[in-house]
Chain A
Amino acid sequence: MSKIKKPSSEELSAILFLAPIFIGFFIFILIPILFTVVLSFVDYNKVGPLNMDFVGLKNYINVFSDEQAMNGYLQSLYFSIIYVPVMLILSLLLAILINKSFYFRTATRTLIFMPYVSNVTAVAMVWSLIFDPLNGPINQLLELMGVSNPPLWFGGVNTSLISVIIVNVWINLAFQTIVFLAALQGVSKDLYESASIDGAGTWRKFISITVPSISPITFFLVITTLIGSFQNYAIVKLLTNGGPGTSSRVISLNIYEEAFTFNRYSFASAQAMLLFLVILIITLIQWKWQKKWAQN
């Protein structure tokens, strides 16, 4: 084999341009990733100096027998199953509406974006007020309408998770809407016109032109919304802190609590690794499925 070529002047420039990001990438991205893997295989489950005793799969096995953790995965699953379709349907609907021509479009768009850009703690505080079970505006309204037993919202075992989902949809709706809007604007107008000439109605045009045209972006949104739906630590922590009981204790919250309240760092890392694997598998299955679907 020939000797490694000396770097050209082009490559010397590349080294200079990339040096900061390489150092940063190594310290702040690569080391934490590798360290997470290592942590999940050692027994560092209490405060004190780093304990690097290798314990194999013990942390992982413990996850499966831990009721709290398994409940966390289950709550996250419920969360995603409701959140993803609701989010995608509402954002597509909103995008279709915004795509029509109307007055004060910029003003309306600004209003719709407010939740997305606003501080998450501020938003959580105002929703706690709105959904206050005793005399919050929503329940006052429901009582006026004759509902004798209005829901407890964040305070109810059966309603806590769904209430968090409502707030989370409200926060993120604008983002998905804008992506859908860009996709809708990319659909060729000629297609609609020739379909109109053929006598196709609005619904027919939607099903046979709009849906197939925007399907690559819909697919992209399904994946990113699904992955995003597992990253709900902040909003759950702020709105319900997992309660009442463990009724909204999603897995991301469980991971933070295990690590930073109970100092079971290795156990928490194993839970995080499993969550990552779940996300990875879902993504891969969807890729495969989409490829097959695209071929047909």
Chain B
Amino acid sequence: MGTKLTLKSSSMNYKKLLFSVIMLLVGILMIVPFIIMISSSFKTQAMVFESPFTTIIPETITWENYSSIFKDEYYFGWYFNSLRVVVLTIVLRGIFVTMAAYAFAKIEFRLKNVLFMVFISTMMITPDTTIVSRFLFYKNIGLTDSYWALVLPAAFDVYFIFMLRQFMMGIPKELSEAAVLDGCGHFRIYSKIIMPLIKPPLVTMVLFTFIWSWNDYANPYVFINTIKSQTLTVGLTTFQGLGGANYALQMAGATLAVIPTVVLFSFLQKYFVEGIASTGVKG
């Protein structure tokens, strides 16, 4: 019986290993475009279409595309603009959204539920619906062509108010009530008790904000009209026309553009997956 058991478990392990290999292949299949992206960025344009599958690692590595990018008049300016928008959005969102979520979760006031419903109901209105009016309105108040046109509207995000409120409601009342008895005001409860407890959803928010903001195309495309002030996502598109579709150069620009979010995601994967699993469902 003992041998039978080991036999069975070793065949189970074998099966599991086989399945693991298949799953890893599925994963690799998903990143084939990135492999092509990186590989092509080290090739010359003439080499890009030469047996793309057999020469993943080019025989002669070309740094020319990257040196062109480093010499480009705008590329790193766009990179900086994107980073600035991302960082400012994260900071302001972190302040305003957590404050609002706290008020909706932990403070009693009249019309609370009505106000909350009004907030939430605007989530149904997709950004494309209001893009025209936002453009005209921002133009009239002198907000266009400034990175604030991308930062300020993003700082007041209803989706994350909803998400963080849900988390804060789950924090036991006893914790804050004890603090009230000790004479703590709401500001101290918010900053000293609640904020440290909501770290996981906060990291999720920071991560999602980074990714969405870094990858946003429509808003900068509409609100920013000088090439120098553009973000990387929109600026990068100008490479498409350069030198009659120079794919090799494009891929170098693309590779550098992908790095920040991919690196961040790789480190904070856990928060990302948990964030989607818990809030994606509720949202």
Say if A and B assemble together: yes
B217 touches A13 (CB 8 A): no
B132 touches A39 (CB 8 A): yes
Q: Which A residues touch B36, using CB under 8 A?
A: 126, 129-130, 137
Q: Once the chains are docked, how many angstroms separate the CA of A238 from the CA of B266?
A: 26
The range of chain B's interface size is 35 or more
Q: Does B76 contact A (CB under 8 A)?
A: no
A18 touches B131 (CB 8 A): no
Q: Once the chains are docked, how many angstroms separate the CA of A128 from the CA of B37?
A: 11
B33 touches A276 (CB 8 A): no
Which stretch, B170-178, B196-204, B233-241, touches the partner chain A?
Answer: B233-241
A129 touches B126 (CB 8 A): no
> Of all chain B residues, which has the CB nearest A5?
B110
Q: Does B107 contact A (CB under 8 A)?
A: yes
Distance in angstroms from A18 CB to nearest chain B CB is 5
Q: Does B72 contact A (CB under 8 A)?
A: no
Q: Which A residues touch B119, using CB under 8 A?
A: 25
> Of all chain B residues, which has the CB nearest A220?
B281
Distance in angstroms from A159 CB to nearest chain B CB is 18
Quick one: given A255-B131, A255-B132, are A113 and B272 in contact (CB under 8 Å)? yes
A114 touches B262 (CB 8 A): yes
Give residues in A with beta carbon < 8 Å to B. 7-8, 10-11, 13-15, 17-18, 20-21, 24-25, 28-33, 35-36, 38-39, 44, 50, 94, 97-98, 100-115, 117-123, 125-130, 132, 135-137, 140-141, 170, 173, 175, 178-179, 181-183, 217, 220, 224, 227, 230-231, 233-234, 237-238, 252, 255-256, 259-260, 265, 268-269, 272-273, 275-276, 279-280, 283
Of the candidates B17, B19, B215, B218, the one whose C-beta lies within 8 Å of that of A233 is B218
Chain B binding site: helix, strand, loop or mixed by DSSP?
helix
B52 touches A108 (CB 8 A): no
B103 touches A98 (CB 8 A): no
Of the candidates A102, A129, A279, the one whose C-beta lies within 8 Å of that of B16 is A102
> Of all chain B residues, which has the CB nearest A115?
B30
B277 touches A178 (CB 8 A): yes
B254 touches A32 (CB 8 A): no
Chain A binding site: helix, strand, loop or mixed by DSSP?
helix
Of the candidates B34, B187, B237, B247, the one whose C-beta lies within 8 Å of that of A118 is B34
Quick one: given A10-B109, A28-B153, are A119 and B214 in contact (CB under 8 Å)? yes
Q: Does B130 contact A (CB under 8 A)?
A: yes
B281 touches A110 (CB 8 A): no
A36 touches B100 (CB 8 A): no
**Other than the known A104-B23, A125-B247, A130-B36, what 15 A-B pairs have Cβ atoms closer than 8 Å?**
A17-B107, A24-B153, A29-B153, A114-B30, A121-B232, A121-B257, A122-B253, A126-B37, A128-B240, A137-B49, A173-B30, A175-B276, A230-B128, A255-B131, A276-B125
Quick one: given A119-B258, A129-B251, are A110 and B153 in contact (CB under 8 Å)? no
> Of all chain B residues, which has the CB nearest A25?
B156
Most chain B CB inside 10 Å of its own CB: which residue of A32, A94, A220, A283: A32
B20 touches A102 (CB 8 A): yes
B137 touches A31 (CB 8 A): yes
Number of A-B contacts (CB under 8 A): 284
> Of all chain B residues, which has the CB nearest A183?
B281
Q: List 23 A-B contacts (CB under 8 A).
A: A7-B109, A8-B109, A13-B187, A17-B99, A17-B102, A21-B100, A21-B161, A25-B158, A32-B130, A33-B130, A102-B19, A108-B23, A114-B34, A118-B258, A118-B262, A121-B232, A125-B251, A126-B254, A132-B247, A135-B49, A136-B49, A220-B281, A268-B132
Distance in angstroms from B9 CB to nearest chain A CB is 13
Q: Once the chains are docked, how many angstroms separate the CA of A38 from the CA of B130?
A: 11
Give residues in B with beta carbon < 8 Å to A. 16-17, 19-20, 23-24, 26-28, 30-31, 33-34, 36-37, 40, 48-49, 51-53, 95-97, 99-100, 102-103, 107-110, 112, 119, 122, 124-137, 140, 152-153, 155-156, 158, 161, 185-187, 190, 211, 214-215, 217-218, 221-222, 232-234, 236-237, 239-240, 247, 250-251, 253-255, 257-258, 261-262, 264-266, 269, 272-273, 276-278, 280-281, 283
